[in-house]
Structure 1
C-alpha cells in the first residue's frame, strides 16, 4: 500500500519533469536559451542526475560563455558517464576558454586539467579530432619551461594524419605558421585544400597569403578559383 501511494505521489512530479524537459528542449532548438535554461534548471531540481538535462545546461553555459559554470556541468557529466569522450573534451574546452580570460599565472595552473581531459577523450575515442587539435594548441602556446613542445604538437598532428589527412595537413600548416615557416605552411595548407576543397581549407590558405606572405595576387587567384 505504501509503495502504491508513493508511486501516485511521485507520478505527477515525473510527468511535470518530462513535460518541462520537452518544452525546454524545443526552446533550446529555437535558440531561446534563457527560457530553456529556466525550465532545465527546474527539471534538474527533481532529477539531479539526469544526463540530458545537465548536458543541455552545459551547452547553454558555453553559449553564454559562462565557462566556470559550463565546466561544472561537464565535470558532473564525466563523473556520471566516464566512458563518454565528448564530456571530457567539453570539460577541457571550458577550462581552456576560461584560461583565456584570467591572468597568465592562474591560466598555467589550469593546464594540467585541460591536458588530462583532452588526453582522456582521445583514449575513449581514438579518432577524436578536436581533442588532438586542442592539445596541439596547448603545446604550441605554452612556453617551453612550462611544458610547451613543438615535437609533442607534431606528434598529435601525425596522429591526425593517420585517419584525417585534411586535419593532418592543416595542423602541420598551423605549426609551421606559428613558427613563421610560412613557405612550409603554404605547402601544407595547399595539400589540405587540394584534398578538402572546403571553406575551412580555403580560408587557412587565403589568410596565409593575405596576412603572412603579403601576397594579395595569390590570395585573389585562390579566391577566384574557390568561387568558381
Structure 2
C-alpha cells in the first residue's frame, strides 16, 4: 500500500471511505461477521482496491486506531494547554481519551475479544500496533515534560510508558463499564490520578528511591529479554 507521503488527495479520500465503511459495518454486523467483500461493496470500490489499501480487516482496525490516536492527541493537547499541574494534565489526558472513544463504546468489546489474543496484530503490544502505541506514549511524555513534576531522570524516562500501561488498564475497565455514560470509568480517573501523583512525588524521598531504582532496573531487564 502507498506510504502516507505518496498518497494523492483522491487516494487519501478512498482510504478514508473504506475505513468509514468498515467501521459502519463493524458496528452493525459485528467484526467477525464483516468481510472485506462487504466492506468494499459498502465503500463503493472493488475488492481488489480495498485490499490494495488494506491487506486485511486487522489493517483496517489499525487505521481506525491511528485515527482515534490522532484525535486523542489533539484533544489532550487542547485540554493540557496552559496547565503545569501534573495531576491536572494527567486527568486531561485520560479524560480526553474517554471522550474521544465514547462513540465507539457499543462495539468496543468486539475489538477487545481479538485484541486480547497475544498473537493478534490488534493486541496493543503487537508489532503492528507499534505506531499507535508510540503515539500514545508520546502523549504521556508531553504530559510529564510540560508539568511541574520533579523526578529522578531515570524515572522521568520510564514514566510515560508506565502511564500508558495505566491507560491500558483504563481501556479494559471502560470496555466492561456498563454504567450510563461510563460514569464509573470517569470516577476511576478521578480517584486514580491523585494516587499516581502522590506516588510519583514520593519517589524522590530517600526511603523510596531504592525501590524506584529497582523498578527502573526491572523495566530495563524486561526490555532486554
| Structure ID, larger Rg | 1
- Structure with bigger helix share is 1
TM-score normalised to structure 1 length: 0.31
TM-score normalised by length of structure 2: 0.31
RCO higher in 1 or 2 (8 Å CA, sep ≥ 6)? 2
